[in-house]
Structure 1
């Protein structure tokens, strides 16, 4: 197996796990979302600590702790990812996984918009068209339903801000996740301890405990796989594969969890998918022209 094939398998594993998130968090929908988040943070920290120990990468973490600016940035990214996680968990439990998947379809376009605003990057013609189509989809949803798709927009925006912050941090994915979860762990422990002492926490079976512990593994594992895949695959391939996870989440929500998908949803998703086709196609063409020019 060559590097490209290995990278493709790792990327498929990462996006495949992310794509199953709706099904997984549906299994713990009887547990309040914030409680699930607390366990997810705690078990993620433990699993990542084991990975760092096995791979002997603690020196990267120690280096990060010596950089105050880096810690401040990771504190910001940890807040963004915490909001993203808890909202997604809640949305699945509330039977709104379709809306949640829409957020991750919109995310790449929101990320481009943030790059233009904060990083002063140039917006190309195909990107303007793609963002315009996505805005049309959101606008149609607003008109047809009478309310803004706030779940989708919040998930897309928080994850885009997370990516924007992490883009400015000189730390690898695993070490970064360890520090982010470490920042969140005190709040998680305080909350879980309060539930235990007050007797208001969920009555958890051994099966529930197993799922909550597994939530930490499935949080870290795809990130590790994706980080490894990125070393062997081009950005063009990864750019096209990014839509695999929300596609699987959408199919899971409709075909397995039985959530409704009506005509208005078709129109909204069609406009956003059209924007993504323009966005991905334009990016691929731009990349190919750049390679031809430098060859």
Structure 2
């Protein structure tokens, strides 16, 4: 019981931190999303290295790197994971600092549905009747928003697709969460470092204040801590409970976007979010009911 409570606290911490993370990126909105991403990758890598040393996991990390050098498919999967998470981070930072937080939250509401869809298509997992209905509703929400906007909600779709594909790759490869994130940021660090050097060479006005530099370096812990809390929480609570808690993050982001940063919440948003929310309720209830039914049949 104590482990469950602890897992609940860790999971809540992770999702709340993810939900309020836009406030952090807003403090850096005077800097381009490409630069923020580059510093975020480097800071995350340095933070993860420090964490591995503190946890005395450095030998395990080196052993994993040697195995990846021998197992090319695993290495390729981690390269793809690194590209996907970097892409996701960039789009999210750009969206927050260009007043698209409402659309970004829509993307993360869509994410669990896309996760299951990929599970069905790629991993041949089973999809139940009401879950099919939830997918149709979610697709209807995107279509309505596209028609009302006159354009495809690319921020929402890009965030949902990149993170869903990232989750799929992480499910396929068997690497510990801490070591996996360290390898992913390590793979992206050379490109991030080259971009920063290039930006220094191209611009004469690249000096940052001390406070800005602290914020840029703080992007490491701001990125890694929620992921680590999530990993700890997932060890002690059920996937069903974890599934319900994951809606905390986009809800907080949505509230921040509408009430703090006064982003528009139009009729198109109302129709789209209504479809997505109804789809998520149907999906969650049907998933819980089917799991209970299967459990009772196996008893």
SS of the aligned residue for 1:129 comes to: helix
- Per-residue Cα deviation, 1:6-34 (whole angstroms, up to 9, x for no partner): 11110011001100122111111110000
Partner of 1:253: 257
Partner of 1:6: 6
Mark the runs of 5 or more structure 1 residues left unpaired by the alignment. Answer: none
Q: TM-score, normalised by structure 2?
A: 0.95
Mark the runs of 5 or more structure 2 residues left unpaired by the alignment. Answer: none
- CA contact under 8 A between 1:96 and 1:259: conserved in structure 2? yes
- CA contact under 8 A between 1:41 and 1:185: conserved in structure 2? yes
How far does residue 196 in structure 1 lie from its aligned partner after superposition?
A: 1.8
In structure 1, distance between residues paired with 2:261 and 2:59 = 44
- Per-residue Cα deviation, 1:212-243 (whole angstroms, up to 9, x for no partner): 11111111001111111111101111011111
For the pair 1:214 / 2:213, whether they are aligned, the reply is: no
- Per-residue Cα deviation, 1:43-88 (whole angstroms, up to 9, x for no partner): 0001111111111122332232213222211100111111111011
Runs of 4+ displaced beyond 4 Å: none
In structure 1, distance between residues paired with 2:108 and 2:298 = 33
How far does residue 293 in structure 1 lie from its aligned partner after superposition?
A: 3.0
Partner of 2:47: 47
For the pair 1:175 / 2:179, whether they are aligned, the reply is: yes
In structure 2, distance between residues paired with 1:291 and 1:244 = 28
**Residue number among 284, 289, 296 corresponding to 1:285 in the alignment:** 289
How far does residue 202 in structure 1 lie from its aligned partner after superposition?
A: 3.8
After superposition, where does 1:124-203 map in structure 2 within 5 Å?
A: 124-199=128-203, 202-203=206-207
Partner of 1:264: 268
In structure 1, distance between residues paired with 2:207 and 2:124 = 50
Aligned residue pairs: how many? 295
In structure 1, distance between residues paired with 2:177 and 2:132 = 30
* RMSD over equivalenced CA pairs, Å: 1.3
In structure 2, distance between residues paired with 1:201 and 1:277 = 50
Q: TM-score, normalised by structure 1?
A: 0.96
